[in-house]
Amino acid sequence: MRRMAPSPAPPPTHAPAWLDRSAPAGAAWAPLSVLASDDLDETRDQIARIYKPHDLAVIGPRQRVRARMHHRALGPSVSLNRLAHGAAVRIDPDRLDDFFLVQMPLAGEAAVWHQNARHLSAVGEATVISPQDAVRMEWSCHCDQFMLRIDRQRLLHVAAAISGSEPAATLRLAPRLDLRQGSGAHWWQLMHYLAALLQPGGEHPSTGLHTAMLEDHVLAMLLRVAWAPATVSRAPASATVPRLRQLEDHIEAHLDQPLTVADLARAVNSSVRLVQQLFARERGTTPMAHIRRLRLERVRHDLLHPGPDTRVLQTAEHWGFEHPGRFAAAYQQAYGESPSATLARSR
């Protein structure tokens, strides 16, 4: 299940120990360890102390956790965490309630069901979990994630200051963030800075004022890359969410057929502009990028679970990829290996 996508661009020359998976780096951040356990119950309980109580189950009969977690607070509202379970696991915390969570894989991949959609992330892709929406996750056995835990009330107050309004009851961030380009790459550079600052021996902010200013900078950057003021709401849910669900259901049902944005608009009796706005606001992507990602996931699933007659090109064509070269490039970028390599490894 492991995949390696291209490194975020532009990466610093030397990754801080927090973000480095080498043995020397592991020794450098060992003083920040809060968990090293092969026991499932102990793993769940210790992680719950940092986050919240949750259900944790191993996926597969021969799997056993070898969990490692490191933790350091930036200040009262933001903490940096790194977690690997050492096994494929299913995690169900329901709603986070009191905090936002930004998850950035350093290895492996994670599937996250959140905001009525499934989001798959690997190296170079972040998932952003808003506290009012239920979430469940599956991490691959090699999944190793760098994460920010952010206090909900503090982020709401920073959002209010930016928008010039009173703090809202809820705030829904875009659930996916591309760390390899645009504003997402700037966010990833900030994570490198924080990781270097908070590693043992780093120059941690010396005063409460400095800490508060740095936390505000982190929160403002997150809002810049994952939020639009229209997503702040005092209502339980946006009136447009049911239409978005209709769109996603239509896509799922017709994923192996030709689809355009105009087709989607007709399917839900809407305009092309509204369809594009819905995906941008609620999913942080475009309709066609969403469709391509789902199709790539279907191809990968079929190649990971092949039948005797499974072939790469026929599988790609079945899921709507008409140009072999473009498909192969997109697959390589998403999963860090060629589709033929996936198939050969699965036979």
Q: What are the sequence ranges of the domains in the chain?
A: 17-233, 241-346
Mean pLDDT of 315-337: 89
Is 17-233's fold the same as 241-346's? no
Predicted pLDDT of residue 12 = 40
Q: What is the pLDDT of residues 185-236, one digit of tens each?
A: 999 999 998 888 887 766 665 556 678 888 888 998 999 899 876 444 433 4
CB-based contact 103:151 (threshold 8 Å): no
Percent of the chain past pLDDT 70, that is, above it, reads 85
Mean pLDDT of 49-69: 92
Structure-model confidence comparison of residues 161 and 334, the more confident one = 334
- Look at residue 310 and tell me whether its pLDDT is greater than 80: yes
Predicted pLDDT of residue 25 = 65
Q: What is the pLDDT of residues 119-168, one digit of tens each?
A: 989 999 999 999 999 999 999 999 999 999 999 999 998 888 777 666 67
Compute the distance between CA of residue 193 and CA of residue 198 in angstroms, rounded to an integer.
9
Cα 85 → chain centroid: 17
Radius of gyration of the chain (CA): 21
CB-based contact 261:247 (threshold 8 Å): no
Predicted pLDDT of residue 160 = 80
Q: What are phi and psi of 138, to 5 degrees?
A: -130, 125
Crossing angle of helices 339-346 and 324-335, in 10° steps, is: 70
Predicted pLDDT of residue 216 = 87
CB-based contact 127:175 (threshold 8 Å): yes
How many beta carbons lie within 10 A of that of residue 224, not counting itself?
12
Predicted pLDDT of residue 2 = 39
Structure-model confidence comparison of residues 234 and 261, the more confident one = 261
End-to-end distance of the chain based on CA atoms, in angstroms?
14
Q: How many residues does the chain have?
A: 347
Compute the distance between CA of residue 145 and CA of residue 147 in angstroms, rounded to an integer.
6
The reply to whether CATH 2.60.120.10 applies to domain 17-233 is yes
Compute the distance between CA of residue 62 and CA of residue 239 in angstroms, rounded to an integer.
45
Name the superfamily (CATH) of residues 241-346.
Homeodomain-like (1.10.10.60)
Predicted pLDDT of residue 103 = 97
pLDDT band per the 50, 70, 90 thresholds, residue 5: very low
Percent of the chain past pLDDT 90, that is, above it, reads 47
Compute the distance between CA of residue 38 and CA of residue 99 in angstroms, rounded to an integer.
27
Compute the distance between CA of residue 44 and CA of residue 37 in angstroms, rounded to an integer.
10
- Look at residue 100 and tell me whether its pLDDT is greater than 60: yes
DSSP state of 38: S
The pLDDT mean for the chain works out to 84
Predicted pLDDT of residue 275 = 86
DSSP state of 285: S
Name which of 7-21, 209-223, 284-298 the model is least confident about: 7-21
